[in-house]
Amino acid sequence: MTSRSGEWDLSESRIRIAPSLLSADFGRLAEDVGRIEAGGAEVLHLDVMDGHFVPNISFGVPVIEKLRPTSKLFFDTHLMITDPLKYAGPFAKAGSDLLTFHIEVAPEPMAIIEHIRSLDINVGITLNPGTPASAIAPAVDLVLVMSVWPGFGGQAFIASSLDKLREIRTLLRPDQRLEVDGGIDRTTVAAAVRAGADTLVAGSAVFGQPDPIKAMIELQELAEAAR
């Protein structure tokens, strides 16, 4: 699972903190992204919300398109949208390295998976808190477990997500990544790793801190110590 720049290969199993752009300062996105990249980040998590599948609207293709030339980070784009099949192409063209879509909007997930693969990028599938582990599709590069309900930042980590992570981890190959998103901070990151997560999305726990690089490194160290 490589980035278009060839800089990162996420098929290699190791712990990665994925700072979430949604918590960055939208008045200086390129600067904030550059800081965490210089600090050692490999992955940037991009939450796209359509105001329909989730009640909020975040950002779309133009933001990713403008950020792409400024960064070699792996762009992990989480589509919280009703029609991923329709919009996968524009998000791939804008520079996403991976698109994850929600199983809850996909009566025929393989059609979406095959379409995203045809765009020559990586594909992942996302499960909401109420969706069982058995709903995952096996032919993906990454499974994203939501440990909060999507659409709002700052929610508390849902503890039952740990059981789902444990179950899904047993179903994945070594080259498939298991990501968790929601409520990841210094108090929850170790438990998520022990449950099987290897890619940990952190928003306010990184960009919301006085020193985002220091915060990211501390999360990385806590996660690696728990593995």
Any idea which residues carry the catalytic annotation? 47, 181
CA 118/CA 112 separation, integer angstroms:
10
Contact 121, 96 (CB under 8 A): yes
CA–CA dist 202, 162 (Å, integer): 16
* Residue 5, both tokens: 């720049």
| Nearest C-alpha neighbor of 74 from the set 4, 23, 172 | 4
> Would you list the DSSP string of 29-90?
HHHHHHHHHHTT--EEEEEEEBSSSSS-B---HHHHHHHGGG--SEEEEEEESS-HHHHHHH
CA distance 52 to 99: 18
